[in-house]
Amino acid sequence: MLDIKFVRENPDVVKQNIKNKFQDRKLEMVDQVLELDQKNRDIKQEVEALRANKNQVSKQIGALMAHGQKEEAEKVKAQIAADGAKIDALTEEEKTVEAELKKIMMVIPNIIDPTVPIGKDDSENVEVQRYGEPVVPDFEIPYHGEIMESFNGLDLDSARKVAGNGFYYLMGDIARLHSAVISYARDFMIDRGFTYCIPPFMIRSDVVTGVMSFDEMDAMMYKIEGEDLYLIGTSEHSMIGKFIDTIIQEENLPQTLTSYSPCFRKEKGAHGLEERGVYRIHQFEKQEMIVVCKPEESKMWFDKLWQNTVDLFVSMDIPVRTLECCSGDLADLKVKSVDVEAWSPRQKKYFEVGSCSNLGDAQARRLKIRVNGENGKYLAHTLNNTVVAPPRMLIAFLENNLQADGSVKIPEALQPYMGGMKAIVKK
């Protein structure tokens, strides 16, 4: 959510930003905000004047009564009562105007970074750099579900009976590999100075609307019936929510946290061949990283965050690339975002395994996350990034480490988490 003062002083900048995100339907909202803002300030000014007059006139009553001017005193009382009623009415109107103003402000997108490429959708995202050599072996790479099933490691049929489509059972060495990757990612981030955290897996609605846009909320979140609780779609939600309505001492920044959680998502949309299996699912586990920092440090932390994911995947012999998200592919709260994509030898292309985002002060403004600095209080900046999210990343792991004999090589970095195993072999 933007600062109302910024919108008031820079309406053309806000409108151009909306155009850059190809959301022209929202252009009229800027004028609506300006009108409501002016109306709100006019109401406040009128209420303030009425209260000042009420206080001043109230002092006359005693003097009038002392001089026996009872009739005049009653007139003053009547005027005070009328002003009081008007103040009450204006106060209620003020609440209505402010609610409408906030509702529209929550929909106007954040100002994107000047370096973000302008484009309509993810087809216009821009490749930044590749890490590791993408290889297509001289033997056929089976579909990832078939690789897992070859080790008796995946059971979709039973999961479908128990929970429906979009769920799975991981079994045996594949399940162990899943847990090993999460544990390795946890220690990888701890070694880089992040504090490990296991957060709540449900959050209240005020946290949901604080960390994401309404469109994201509708597309992702599962609501707990009869309660003001939602299942988290990523631990970023509850991790940023941890700081709701707090004032952080500047010397305690940055806050760098890495968190484990299950994640739950509706995952609306098409489900093609490559998205079956464990690619597009309603439940998965994830290691996340978040940073709360000073505004001047958010760019530096943004680069550090996506580099962490790159380094993690490269350490597991998985080639990756970074992709700069264009303006039309950015969620409304994001200032800048980079996707990390892993190489798929089967598809002979890269696919997303993580997303790094700088949200500027948008989440902090919604959640009232403030910093107490030398020159007063200001809003913090928040960032998040995926460390690793199996079982989707297992697709990249299995495809890139599959051997001609059907076994799967275990990279050296992961072997201690697999009990010393150097390969997964068919029993």
pLDDT one-digit tens code per residue, 71-127 = 777 787 888 888 889 999 999 999 999 999 999 999 999 999 999 999 999 999 999
Tell me the fold of 122-424.
Answer: BirA Bifunctional Protein; domain 2 (3.30.930)
The pLDDT assigned to 268 comes to 64
- Cα separation, 127 vs 113, whole angstroms: 17
- Strand-by-strand arrangement of the 222-223 sheet: 202-203, 230-231, 222-223
Point out which residues pair with 341 in neighbouring strands.
Answer: 321, 352
The pLDDT assigned to 55 comes to 78
Options 3.30.230.10, 3.30.2320.20, 1.10.287.40, 3.40.50.720; CATH of 4-105 = 1.10.287.40
- What average pLDDT does this structure show over 314-328? 97
pLDDT one-digit tens code per residue, 168-179 = 999 999 999 999
Least reliable range by pLDDT among 10-19, 69-78, 240-249, 370-379: 69-78
The domain spans of the chain are 4-105, 122-424
Describe the crossing of helices 172-191 and 392-401 by its angle, rounded to 10 degrees. 100
pLDDT one-digit tens code per residue, 370-398 = 999 999 999 999 999 999 999 889 999 99
pLDDT one-digit tens code per residue, 34-60 = 999 999 999 999 999 988 888 777 777
Whole-prediction pTM: 0.90
pLDDT one-digit tens code per residue, 251-310 = 999 999 999 999 999 976 544 544 468 888 999 999 999 999 999 999 999 999 999 999
